[in-house]
Amino acid sequence: MRSCEVLIVGGGPAGSSAAWKLRRAGADVLVLDRERFPRLKLCAGWITPEVVRDLEIELSDYPHRLLTFPRLRVHFGRLQVPLACVQHSIRRFEFDAWLLERSGAPVEQHNVRHIAADAGGYLIDGAYRCRYLIGAGGTRCPVYRELFRELNPRAGELQIVTLEHEIQYDWQDSDCHLWFFEHGLPGYSWYVPKERGWLNVGIGAIAERLKRRGLDIREQWEQLATMLGGSLAPGACYDPGGYSYYLRGRVDVVRRDNAFITGDAAGLATRDLGEGIGPAIRSGLLAAESILAGKPYRLEDVTGLSISSIARSMLDRIGHGGVFHGRRPRAPGGGGPAHGVRHRDQ
């Protein structure tokens, strides 16, 4: 039987952020994840300046691919709006593993199946015992399933479905592009370049509205790929994968005794852009702070809108006279072929 003070289920950004804060305060922490890191993760890999500040990351010292965008290019039909702000892209394959290693917490590969209350704490699969339990295992988090599902049922109208692919590609346009409501899509699509010759392309929409409008997300994907083939990504070939998660709705119960849920386990992705990394990290840090300081665990400080971060970044640019602050893009260089590498082949 392995015992610890805090057991975290899930080693992604929410779990590693909680572990990092707890370990810095000297807490006895163990992280369980069903996969071995570095692991493949479908995600656009867009992080905000708030993420960088919350995690005290020095951009110049980050050892992996990180590209800073001095602007976003937002498209509404034929209208293109450049937004002068600072955002960043990373590869989740690298970023998540780096955050977990940086936390300093021990990690064990284990697929959690059963959780039971036990003498003021929790017993996990008869093999682990802890006083505090943090659920950071994403939409299908076992902590949510075992302890919170009946208290916080998923809202079907907030379910997002996505298709995306991250490929090795020598992009020429280093800006991030977002297209809203193309061909009646109840969502948006994206082109997110990554440093040194990687590119993430994807599409996301509210599942219920897609069905109601008689739209097929794969047909929407084909239209996006065709458009990119004639403009930003000629010659690129894709083999997209899909996943599903939930936008932020009512989250009535995020702590149950000494158990917490964070990130996508709590359904915290922003309502406008479905951005999940920032809310995951902020909620992981708040859960850790609640354990360390005995504070209530509340999520009012976790923004529900990405546009808030974009607006703050735009105001910051204005306040600094339009000066660009971030890591300048490095040439794709070792970018490789335009046919791409599928997630399962990386």
pLDDT of amino acid 330:
53
pLDDT in tens, 241-259: 999 999 999 888 999 999 9
Q: What predicted TM-score, i.e. pTM, was given to this entire model?
A: 0.91
On whether the CB atoms of residues 70 and 143 are closer than 8 A, the answer is no
The pairing of beta strand 87-90 with beta strand 107-109: unpaired
Identify the three-state secondary structure at position 30: strand
In whole angstroms, give the CA distance from residue 29 to residue 271: 32
In whole angstroms, give the CA distance from residue 136 to residue 277: 12
In whole angstroms, give the CA distance from residue 234 to residue 236: 6
In whole angstroms, give the CA distance from residue 96 to residue 344: 17
213: phi then psi, degrees, rounded to nearest 5: -90, 0
pLDDT of amino acid 335:
39
In whole angstroms, give the CA distance from residue 318 to residue 341: 39
pLDDT of amino acid 319:
64
- pLDDT over 90 at 265, yes or no: yes
pLDDT of amino acid 316:
79
pLDDT in tens, 127-163: 999 999 999 999 999 999 999 999 999 999 999 999 9
pLDDT of amino acid 340:
30
In whole angstroms, give the CA distance from residue 12 to residue 273: 20
pLDDT in tens, 190-241: 999 999 999 999 999 999 999 999 999 999 999 999 999 999 999 999 999 9
pLDDT of amino acid 326:
56
3-state secondary structure 234-279: CCCCCCCEEEEEEECCCCCCCEECCEEECHHHHCCECCCCCCCHHH
pLDDT of amino acid 345:
32
For residue 269, what is the DSSP state? B
Number of other CB atoms surrounding residue 195 within 10 Å:
22
Q: What is the DSSP string of 128-154?
A: EEEEEEEE-S-TT-HHIIIIITTTS--
pLDDT of amino acid 323:
44
Kindly state the percentage of the chain with pLDDT values over 90. Answer: 83
- 1-15, 85-99, 311-325: segment of lowest average pLDDT: 311-325
For residue 181, what is the DSSP state? S
pLDDT of amino acid 288:
98
